[in-house]
Amino acid sequence: MKKIAIIGAGGFGREVLDVIDACNQVEKRYEPLGFIVDTQFGTPGTLVNEKPILGGFDWLVENRNDVYITCAVGPSHLRYQLIQRAIKIKCRFINLIHPSALLTRWVSLGEGVVITAGCILTNQIQIGNHVHVNLDCTIGHDVVLDDFVTLSPGVHVSGNVTMGTGCYVGTGANILEKIRINDWSVVGAGSVVLGDIPANTTVVGVPGKVVKEREPGWHLK
């Protein structure tokens, strides 16, 4: 069995543990060891859904050759920062897909991808590295999700949509076909996106409109 350490012990960390448990009910493949958090966010030995906080990145340095890593931190920019730390110490990453998710054989996945329960992905879909697809999302044909994209629960992505690196889409948003959402943009919960979205912006509403612009590189701060 592959041993797994989960970066992040919050709500989505517990949901990722649920994905692992569901996979093991079908076939015993994974051994979840526990959670990796910086000391200001949790004390080693504290149990989270019966699994311990193992420690911080110092624990990973000592154990990186024995475990696979998944990052269960929801916001794309924070996940990006944590993954860069993990890459520097040469961690290995694993994909986790809930057994109730439906993926055709025409879906390609990067590494460190998490797909949770109830999702449907159809044809010629490209998923980058460290992408999160949360509960009950649908992704249509010819969609491209670049690295570090986050789809919150209940997002519906129509065909031929491209999302750039680090895009974050809030709960229940709908993205119409042939739209490009550029790097490090945010789509608010419940929004309906009818046109292309510039990089480093926040879009909300029906139809979605830009309400905020950020400086390039904001995700690094």
Query: Any idea which residues carry the catalytic annotation?
Result: 141
The CA distance from 2 to 32, in Å, is: 8
Per the CB < 8 A criterion, the answer to whether 147 and 165 are in contact is yes
Per the CB < 8 A criterion, the answer to whether 184 and 77 are in contact is yes
The CA distance from 104 to 123, in Å, is: 6
Q: How many CB atoms lie within 10 A of CB 155?
A: 25
Q: Closest Cα to residue 52, out of 6, 95, 100, 105?
A: 6
C-alpha to C-alpha distances, 84 to 79, 80, 81, 90, 134, nearest whole angstrom: 9, 6, 5, 10, 22
Distance of CA 188 to the CA centre of its chain: 17
